[in-house]
Amino acid sequence: MRTAAAVLSALRAVNDALGRAVAWLTVAMVAGVVGVVILRHAFGIGATALQEAVLYLHALVFLVAAAHTLQHDGHVRVDILYRRWGERGRARVDLLGSLCLLLPMAVFVFVASLDYVAASWALLETSPSPDGLPFVYLLKTLIPVAAAQLAAAALVQAGDALRVLSRRE
């Protein structure tokens, strides 16, 4: 039991650290967008590589931070019953949702994306734009990474729910 708790704690720490790290990339995204706008409107210069870099950062932030956001209950919820239920009721929903919905979806996305990512790596896929970035294969690699992180977050959420449900009142 202690080993499982240690694994869940490690998964929680990794997701937390990654989420906090990529959050800082939003500053670079803003700077990139400002740079693109200034170059375009002040100097009449198109900056395809910079635009694509902003796109890459955007994907990195959203895909890598999704598990962090889930872990900190930061996703938007449209619920009528969940918020009214007690801790045990919410734990049941979290347990079922993480094991029956999130974990299978994350595993599916992970497995389904492997051939797609492998094909991109085999070609060392680049941007279709001549001025674009030559790292499309790295961008596509974020898909299974994000899926693995979400699977880890599902396990953490399930573990937390089991801990709540196993307490005696």
Reported as a single tens digit per residue, the pLDDT across 57-77 is: 999 999 999 988 888 887 767
* C-alpha torsion sign, points 23, 118, 8, 14: negative
CA of residue 69 relative to chain centroid, distance: 8
Domain-by-domain residue ranges, the chain?
2-75+83-166
Confidence of residue 81 (pLDDT cuts 50, 70, 90): confident
pTM: 0.86
Residues in the chain, total: 169
CA 109, 112, 118, 121 dihedral sign is negative
pLDDT at 129 over 70: yes
